[in-house]
A and B are shown apart, each in its own frame.
Chain A
Amino acid sequence: MTLHSVYDDYLEALKQGDRRQALRVAQKTLTEGTDIRDLYLDVFQPAMHEVGRLWETNQMTVAQEHLATAITQSVMAHLYGYVFAHTAVGRTLIATCIGGELHELGIRMVSDFFEMEGWEVYYLGANMPPDDVIRMATDRDADLLAISVTLNSHVPYARELIQAVRAAPIGAKLKIMVGGQPINRAPDLCKTMGADFTASNAREAVQLATEVLV
């Protein structure tokens, strides 16, 4: 089944700022048998990229972009009710993002994918101070730390965070995953930042994490 028309309808709802319509489109697709992961990767993600492009070409305002983000976030939360929860796998993910709330949708998708696979997921919000991240990872005895980086200018912050985590006792066992546009464009950044691995999308992130943490 092709999701192109769903994408078109969903994007239109975002442009109109119509959250009910956006939810209807998504719910209908899901009840027709589409896997929620496909909906995330083939509808929400490209639609939000398009929203970013529309803003960049002066066809959408920041306020509209904020609304689109909020709508997609609430739709994702709504749809979660349809997900058949995988039995707990006994793994814990701590996720954070560098940059504003406007950029956290990507890492949220990643978080949801992990949760669907039975992981315990704690999303810490954007721009958490390294000490807070370390405390949380230690308290939860986390297996994996996911850091989302949205802009090149965020790379140094992420590197500092990784260094701080590595220096902490939990750093000995904690694996670190980085992701985001700057790293997708230059995958070498992953190593220079000191992370263990990177993934280009949420599905790949889960796959790689499962392999790394055997």
Chain B
Amino acid sequence: MDLINITLCNHLTELVISCDHNGIIGYANPAAQRWSETPLEGRPFPALLTPESGHKGELFLEVARRASCQEPTLPWELTLGTATRYTVANFHGYSDNGCIVIIGQVEPGETTEMQHELLQLTSELAEAQREQRRQNRILQQTLHEQQRLLKTIHDLTAPAVPLWEGVLLLPLVGQIDSHRANAIAGELLQRVSAGRARYVILDVSGIALVDTAVARHLIDMAQMLRLLGAQPVLVGINPEIAQTLVHLGLNLFDFITVYSDVQHAVAYVLRKMKEVTL
């Protein structure tokens, strides 16, 4: 290349490279050399590119070898830089006197940057969805666990213990609301009629809070038991329950037998059963 051309090339922002017929670089202007740490002269053209573009660079050389100055190749995108951080450049090439002349224009840095960012964004979104799926699975699992617990609790609603034939013990624990009271009553009546129970010991010492509503439920339950021919025996009445029941103004003792604890209640039931058999 003559002097004036070389001076011109030194000042161009475009990459200018000239290769021999085999694609070995004979000249690279400073704009091209900037992309390589080692001198480009004497190395094959793909050495300028990132490894991704290696094979594409070979294909491009082949096309450029057949192109003429009047009709250079179409623009070819090749990547420069490092394997992990590349920049896209558009290259034209043509053959001239056994030389392959290659001119490249680097895409504005922002464009490449933007594409990287967009791709990263897609990637992050896809991962966020994976995280979402993970959370959903955990929720599902928790829900499943909870349903199992609820079922257990439901099964324990009316834990009627058959003490012996015809005698049931029902220890009531926890909060009683009307919903639960109904469930207990339903379950209990089933058991009583199925087991032909004649005595039901209702232990209310484990009930958390007794208000008039709960007291009414208890009385209802006792009355229903009577209708089925079973004798309710109430035990474990604490001072609050006593007050509440009295405030209701009902004469309980017509249909309920009351004892302070389970032992006394059992003794009573045993006595009664003996009387009946006698």
Q: How many A residues touch the partner, as a band?
A: 35 or more
Q: Judging by beta carbons under 8 Å apart, are B137 and A85 in contact? A: yes
Residues of B close to A121: CB separation below 8 A: 130
A117 to B163: give the CA distance in the assembly, Å.
Answer: 51
Q: Binary interface profile of A, 49-80, with partner B (CB < 8 Å = 1, else 0)? A: 00000011110011100100110011011001
For the residues of B in contact with A, the DSSP-based class is helix
Q: Judging by beta carbons under 8 Å apart, are A70 and B119 in contact? A: yes
With A69-B122, A125-B120, A126-B123 known, 14 other A-B pairs at CB within 8 A are A57-B59, A58-B63, A62-B77, A62-B79, A62-B115, A80-B133, A99-B84, A101-B119, A104-B123, A125-B123, A126-B84, A151-B52, A152-B51, A154-B83
Q: Does A153 touch B at the CB level, under 8 Å?
A: yes
Q: Judging by beta carbons under 8 Å apart, are B59 and A76 in contact? A: no
Residues of B close to A102: CB separation below 8 A: 119
Given A76-B126, A101-B123, A104-B123, also A153-B56 (CB < 8 A): no
Given A63-B115, A85-B137, also A70-B130 (CB < 8 A): no
A203 to B129: give the CA distance in the assembly, Å.
Answer: 22
Point out the residue from A73, A151, A154 that lies within 8 Å of B122, measured CB to CB.
A73
Q: Does A88 touch B at the CB level, under 8 Å?
A: yes
Point out the residue from B59, B123, B130 that lies within 8 Å of A58, measured CB to CB.
B59
Q: Which residue of A lies closest to B134 (CB)?
A: A120
A61 to B115: give the CA distance in the assembly, Å.
Answer: 12
Q: How many chain B residues touch A (Cβ–Cβ < 8 Å)?
A: 33
Q: Judging by beta carbons under 8 Å apart, are B130 and A123 in contact? A: yes
Q: Judging by beta carbons under 8 Å apart, are A101 and B83 in contact? A: no
Q: Which residue of B lies closest to A57 (CB)?
A: B59
Residues of A close to B79: CB separation below 8 A: 62
Pairs across A and B, CB under 8 Å, 11 listed: A66-B119, A69-B122, A70-B122, A73-B123, A77-B126, A80-B133, A99-B83, A115-B130, A126-B84, A127-B84, A151-B83
Given A63-B115, A66-B119, A85-B137, also A100-B86 (CB < 8 A): yes
Residues of B close to A56: CB separation below 8 A: 55-56, 59
Residues of B close to A100: CB separation below 8 A: 83-86, 116, 119
A165 nearest CB across to chain B (Å):
19
A151 to B49: give the CA distance in the assembly, Å.
Answer: 14
A-B pairs with the 9 shortest C-beta distances? A101-B119, A70-B122, A153-B51, A56-B56, A77-B129, A151-B51, A77-B126, A58-B76, A62-B88
Q: Does A175 touch B at the CB level, under 8 Å?
A: no
Q: Which residue of A lies closest to B58 (CB)?
A: A56
A7 nearest CB across to chain B (Å):
22
Residues of B close to A99: CB separation below 8 A: 83-84
A70 to B115: give the CA distance in the assembly, Å.
Answer: 11
Residues of B close to A126: CB separation below 8 A: 84, 123
Q: Which residues from 170 to 195 on chain B have a C-beta closer than 8 Å to any C-beta of chain A?
A: none
A19 to B198: give the CA distance in the assembly, Å.
Answer: 74
Binding site for B on A (CB under 8 A): 55-58, 61-63, 66, 69-70, 73-74, 76-77, 80, 85, 88, 99-102, 104, 108, 111, 115, 120-121, 123, 125-127, 151-154
Given A85-B137, A151-B51, also A58-B86 (CB < 8 A): no
Q: Does B60 touch A at the CB level, under 8 Å?
A: yes
A69 to B115: give the CA distance in the assembly, Å.
Answer: 12
Residues of B close to A88: CB separation below 8 A: 137, 141
A111 to B133: give the CA distance in the assembly, Å.
Answer: 13
Residues of A close to B122: CB separation below 8 A: 69-70, 73-74, 101
Residues of A close to B129: CB separation below 8 A: 77, 80
Q: Judging by beta carbons under 8 Å apart, are B52 and A58 in contact? A: no
Residues of B close to A77: CB separation below 8 A: 125-126, 129
Q: Which one of B60, B76, B125, B129 has the highest number of Cβ atoms from chain A below 10 Å of its Cβ?
A: B129
A187 nearest CB across to chain B (Å):
20
Residues of A close to B127: CB separation below 8 A: 123, 125
Q: Does B6 touch A at the CB level, under 8 Å?
A: no
A73 to B123: give the CA distance in the assembly, Å.
Answer: 8
Q: Which one of B52, B59, B88, B137 has the highest number of Cβ atoms from chain A below 10 Å of its Cβ?
A: B52
